[in-house]
């Protein structure tokens, strides 16, 4: 039924296109194992199994990246999400996924004008003092136009491509089904947790389609940076208000919705143009420090961070200020997760393997893991950095190596932590591009120490204690009522006790199957004995000179015996898998 739904008329053409591209890039075996070829052949769609020799000679990560690019916007976005899963893929795969650029030819202005008019409430020429129909940039989901308000403020208008949602939803529809089939049928692919990855990707992409959600993220981070100052700042020479060090574009909510958003235009130097940074006389070292501290603040203090701080999402402004844009992908960390993160990073920087191992075991969840082997590898890993000066430590490299240990033990990070590790690695890489001597560990240490102190400060201890006491008092206050309901249910005979033991259902199914086979075996034996007796009795209808009832009995016994043998064989095969 899964593939019958998949090959419905609306998805059949797209499925054929996807299978053909995968075959051309040398992933024909995957097409076969996933059942895509069988489904298409049944639907009368022929596949060409020959692919170009030059594509076959490429390394697998390169072929995968090029296939994703050719498959279109949904798959480019998927590759960008896969680039955050450093716990699932080796560095060479992450590097290739990181090369995926979300760009596309711009849609003609006539095609987006109706959508702009619907969302803005009037044609853009009536809303803005000036509107440029030529886009500044175009991506697979949206394109951006520059405009000017009546008060002279420069803004950008981001508009979603018309008709893009049905295309993405169609791709997601079959991608989810394919992930379910891959996890059910292919043991090798289960290690990559395809359903979890696709679920994370689907949620991320649905949020990215809603521009209002992106703007809420932007405004939330802007509020966290309100009044933010850098520790290197000198006191202002004048009494006037100093410009903010970290700039987040202002959102104009009166013209912002699901399909269109209007934000402040950032007139700065793109993060990739380091030559322009030098020409403008900006201080690279200060920019690296300020960018690092800003992202560390988002992660450690706020628990709400830009999950993709690469140079394309950063602008450098006069006064060594930094602007962040594009908050479609953000990460959120609970207070407990932030505490674990602080313990982990302190353990790495201070060379405390026991602290690191404790956090990693907390992240393993309920899955089976070789704890002794994991702890030994973590201790060896941390010990190799013992005695290395703090300035020479690379947190990005250390996190990469630590995640490689997790991959060996087949431990998958939760989605929020995968985003976090990717953000750390991107941040340090960008800092090193600005300043080869950028000391990420040195920048992190004061903030980590501050986080530890604040957690154990008297006010914080009192707050946590009060919260726990309040919860306990609430529990005690409800206890008499809960006991009364429990006793009332017991008196009425309505008290049910449910015990859920892991694998108990599986054991029950095995017992049912064994009992069924035993019954069939007894029936087969009875048919053989009964038929043998009938064969010795003369009289009654015959076939080929033999009693017909005896022959029917042997036929039934043979059928039951074949069923019994097949059942035992299938059960043994399932146990081996």
Extract the tokens encoding 40: 């298409």
H or E, element range at 90: none
Q: Work out the angle between the directed axes of helices 60-71 and 73-82 (0-180°, nearest 10).
A: 140
Euclidean distance between CA atoms 214 and 87, whole angstroms:
26
DSSP 251: B
Name the residue with tokens 């175009």. 138
Question: How many Cα atoms sit within 13 Å of 388 on the Cβ side?
Answer: 18
Asked if residues 548 and 541 have their Cβ atoms less than 8 Å apart, the reply is yes
Using only C-alpha atoms, the chain has a radius of gyration, in whole angstroms, of: 32
Asked if residues 154 and 148 have their Cβ atoms less than 8 Å apart, the reply is yes
CB neighbourhood size of 225 (10 A): 17
H or E, element range at 314: strand 314-317
Euclidean distance between CA atoms 577 and 573, whole angstroms:
6
CA distances from 370 to 89, 201, 382 (A): 21, 30, 18
Active site residue 102: no
Q: C-alpha angle 329/332/333, rounded to 5°?
A: 150
DSSP 298: I
Nearest to 346 by CA among 455, 195, 245, 256: 455
Q: What is the bridge-based pairing of β-strands 321-324 and 246-247?
A: parallel
* Of 132, 232, 302, 308, catalytic: 308
Euclidean distance between CA atoms 129 and 151, whole angstroms:
9
H or E, element range at 543: strand 542-543
CA dihedral 203, 178, 416, 76 (to 10 degrees): -70
Distance spanning both ends of the chain, measured CA to CA = 23
Euclidean distance between CA atoms 7 and 13, whole angstroms:
9
Asked if residues 245 and 297 have their Cβ atoms less than 8 Å apart, the reply is no
Extract the tokens encoding 558: 């043979």
- Which residues are the active-site residues? 308
């Amino acid at each position: 039924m899964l593939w019958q739904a998949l090959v419905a008329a609306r998805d059949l053409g797209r499925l054929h296109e996807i299978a053909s591209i995968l075959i051309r890039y040398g992933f024909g075996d995957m097409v076969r194992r996933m059942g895509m070829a069988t489904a298409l052949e049944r639907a009368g769609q022929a596949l060409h199994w020959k692919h170009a020799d030059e594509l076959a000679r490429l390394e697998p990560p390169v072929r995968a990246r090029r296939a994703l690019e050719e498959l279109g916007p949904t798959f480019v976005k998927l590759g960008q999400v896969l680039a955050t899963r450093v716990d699932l893929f080796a560095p060479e795969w992450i590097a290739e996924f990181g090369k995926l650029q979300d760009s596309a030819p711009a849609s003609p202005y006539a095609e987006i004008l109706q959508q702009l008019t619907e969302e803005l409430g009037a044609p853009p020429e009536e809303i803005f003092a000036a509107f440029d129909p030529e886009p500044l940039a175009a991506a697979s989901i949206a394109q951006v136009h520059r405009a000017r308000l009546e008060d002279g403020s420069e803004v950008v208008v981001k508009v979603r491509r018309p008709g893009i949602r049905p295309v993405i939803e169609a791709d997601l529809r079959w991608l989810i089904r394919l992930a379910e089939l891959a996890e059910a049928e292919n043991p090798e692919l289960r290690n990559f947790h395809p359903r979890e990855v696709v679920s994370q990707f689907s949620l991320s992409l649905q949020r990215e389609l809603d521009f209002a959600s992106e703007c809420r993220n932007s405004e939330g981070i802007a509020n966290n940076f309100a009044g933010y100052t850098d520790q290197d700042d000198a006191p202002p020479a004048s009494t006037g208000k100093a410009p903010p060090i970290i700039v987040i574009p202002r959102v104009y909510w009166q013209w912002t919705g699901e399909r269109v958003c209007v934000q402040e235009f950032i007139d700065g130097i793109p993060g990739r143009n380091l030559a322009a940074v030098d020409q403008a006389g900006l201080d690279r070292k200060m920019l690296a420090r300020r960018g690092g501290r800003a992202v560390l603040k988002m992660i450690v203090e706020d628990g709400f961070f830009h999950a993709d701080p690469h140079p394309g999402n950063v602008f450098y402004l006069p006064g060594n200020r930094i602007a962040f844009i594009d908050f479609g992908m953000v990460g959120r960390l609970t207070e407990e997760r932030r505490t674990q993160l602080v313990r982990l990073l302190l353990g790495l920087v201070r060379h405390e393997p026991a602290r690191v191992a404790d956090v990693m075991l907390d992240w393993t969840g309920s899955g089976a893991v070789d704890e002794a082997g994991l702890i030994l590898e973590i201790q060896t890993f941390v010990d190799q950095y013992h005695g290395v000066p703090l300035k020479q430590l690379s947190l990005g490299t250390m996190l990469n190596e630590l995640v490689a240990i997790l991959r060996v033990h087949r431990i998958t990070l939760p989605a929020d932590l995968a985003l976090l590790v990717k953000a750390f690695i991107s941040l340090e890489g960008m800092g090193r591009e600005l300043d080869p001597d950028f000391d990420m560990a040195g920048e992190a240490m004061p903030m980590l120490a501050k986080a530890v102190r604040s957690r154990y400060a008297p006010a914080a201890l009192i707050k946590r204690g009060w919260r726990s006491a309040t919860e306990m008092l609430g529990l005690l206050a409800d206890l008499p009522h809960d006991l009364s309901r429990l006793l009332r249910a017991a008196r009425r005979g309505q008290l049910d006790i449910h015990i859920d033991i892991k694998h108990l259902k599986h054991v029950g199914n095995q017992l049912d199957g064994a009992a069924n086979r035993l019954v069939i075996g007894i029936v087969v034996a009875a048919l053989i004995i009964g038929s043998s007796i009938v064969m010795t009795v003369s009289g009654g209808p015959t076939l080929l000179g033999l009693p017909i009832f005896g022959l029917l009995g042997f036929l039934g016994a043979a059928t039951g015996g074949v069923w019994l043998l097949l059942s035992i064989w299938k059960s043994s095969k399932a146990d081996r898998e």
